[in-house]
């Protein structure tokens, strides 16, 4: 299942490579120091969209004819925890701060296309290694639905009309500001709470853009502070820049056994916050929730 893959390929990888030093040395060098979270500030209006695509999942379907879906060869790959196949289109609004309010859950294996009526490139399964898959809906066009693609950065998959999937409401959003080293949890469009975070070091920066919570896993070592870990749909922007043990890993949100490095760029791309903050997110924020990473939010 996904949690086992996370433990072996992601959690242990980040653990071994954290701060670029051996685990025992890293543990010995870190000492506890709690930081006070910055005050919560509201999410400003989204920047003006670019491109000619419809805005977000709130957009109503049009009356245009529905493009037919080309048959999908049975030999197409299935999107899993490994990097997604190439060829899927770029997210036209990767830094749009508008909350994504609907998620799509496939009930069986469905084909994913590069455009409405375009080429089938892969299959999306109901689960990834045993964990139910919920993908935020970002666009609707002529009967087709675009979702954020798992195991890829800033990429969409287009899904044809069908009754083999369910649409679920998404109330939450996580916004990470890299310059402020701040993570803010929003619910129903309102900021609930913020925490200081550590982010990716130079050359292994936390990837910008929209992604989502893919799943969670128990912490494999005490260095994570005894708190479960979130894996995101995002992967490192430059897979070759991370240590060999992290190849194929996903970006994660997790706590640490102390708070010494909060506000610094020290991770291999993951987002590290306080243990109390991580516990609250785990208790409140379900898989499928949209995550937005920006350098800074636009000034209201």
Pairwise CA distance, residues 176 & 154, whole Å: 15
Query: What value does the mean pLDDT of the chain take?
Result: 83
Q: Lowest-pLDDT range, 37-41, 61-65, 134-138, 290-294? A: 37-41
Instruction: Work out whether strand 290-294 and strand 209-217 pair parallel, antiparallel, or are unpaired.
Output: antiparallel
Higher pLDDT, 229 or 7: 229
Q: Cα–Cα–Cα angle for 85, 89, 91, nearest 5°? A: 115
Q: Is residue 131 part of a domain?
A: no
pLDDT for 297 beyond 60: yes
User: Is there a domain that residue 229 lies in?
Assistant: yes
Is 136 a member of any domain?
Answer: no
| Whole-number Å distance between alpha carbons of 235 and 47 | 25
**DSSP 8-state code for residue 20:** G
SS3 labels along 199-225: EECCCCCCCCEEEEEEEEECCCCHHHC
Of 151, 204, 214, whose CA–CA distance to 178 is shortest? 204
Mind listing the pLDDT tens digit for each residue in 5-61? Answer: 554 444 434 433 333 333 222 222 111 222 223 344 445 444 433 333 333 444 445
Q: Is residue 90 part of a domain?
A: no
Domain for residue 22, yes or no?
Answer: yes
Is the CA virtual torsion 143, 145, 146, 149 positive or negative? negative
The better pLDDT of the pair 210, 9 is held by 210
The answer to the question of residue 86 being in a domain is no
CA 218, CA 228: separation in Å to the nearest integer?
4
Instruction: Give the length of the chain.
Output: 300
Whichever domain contains 264, its CATH number is: 2.40.440.10
pLDDT in tens, 115-136: 999 999 999 999 997 889 999 9
HSE-up of 10 (CA within 13 Å, CB side)?
Answer: 32
Calculate what percentage of the chain has a pLDDT beyond 70: 79
**Number of domains, the chain:** 1
Report the pLDDT value the prediction gives residue 13, as an integer from 0 to 100.
40
pLDDT in the model for residue 62: 52
CA dist., res. 249 & res. 247, Å (int): 5
3-state secondary structure of 53: coil
Q: What is the DSSP string of 119-178?
A: -EEEEE-SEETTEEP-EEEEEEETTEEEEEPTTSSSBEEEE-S-SSEEEEE--EEEEEET
> Is the pLDDT confidence value at 138 over 70?
yes
Domain that holds residue 206: 2-40+172-294
Tell me whether residue 89 is in a domain: no
Q: Which residue has the higher pLDDT, 30 or 238?
A: 238
Residue 108 belongs to some domain of the structure? no
């Amino acid at each position: 299942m996904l949690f086992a893959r996370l433990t072996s390929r992601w959690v242990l990888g980040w653990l071994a490579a954290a701060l670029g030093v051996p685990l025992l040395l890293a543990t010995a060098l870190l000492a506890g120091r709690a930081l006070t979270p910055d005050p919560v500030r509201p999410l400003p209006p989204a920047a003006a969209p670019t491109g000619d695509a419809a805005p977000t999942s709130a957009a109503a379907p049009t009356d245009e004819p529905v493009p037919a879906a080309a048959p999908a060869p049975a030999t197409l790959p299935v999107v899993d925890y490994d990097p997604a196949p190439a060829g899927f289109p770029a997210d036209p609004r990767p830094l749009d701060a508008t909350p994504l309010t609907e998620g799509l859950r496939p009930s069986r294996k469905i084909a994913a296309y590069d455009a409405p009526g375009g080429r089938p490139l892969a299959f999306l399964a109901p689960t990834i290694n045993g964990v139910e898959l919920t993908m935020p809906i970002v666009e609707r066009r002529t009967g087709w639905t675009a979702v954020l693609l798992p195991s890829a950065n800033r990429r969409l998959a287009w899904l044809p009309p069908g009754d083999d999937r369910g649409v679920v409401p998404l109330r939450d959003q996580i916004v990470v500001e890299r310059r402020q080293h701040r993570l803010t949890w929003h619910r129903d469009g309102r900021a609930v709470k913020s925490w200081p975070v550590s982010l990716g070091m130079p050359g292994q920066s936390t990837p910008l853009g929209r992604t989502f919570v893919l799943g969670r896993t128990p912490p494999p070592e005490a260095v994570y502070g005894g708190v479960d870990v979130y894996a995101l749909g995002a992967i490192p922007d430059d897979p070759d820049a991370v240590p060999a043990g992290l190849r194929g890993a996903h970006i994660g949100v997790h706590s640490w056994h102390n708070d010494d490095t909060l506000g610094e760029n020290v991770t291999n791309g993951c987002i590290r916050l306080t243990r109390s903050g991580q516990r609250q997110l785990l208790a409140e924020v379900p898989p499928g929730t949209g995550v937005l990473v920006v350098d800074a939010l636009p000034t209201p």
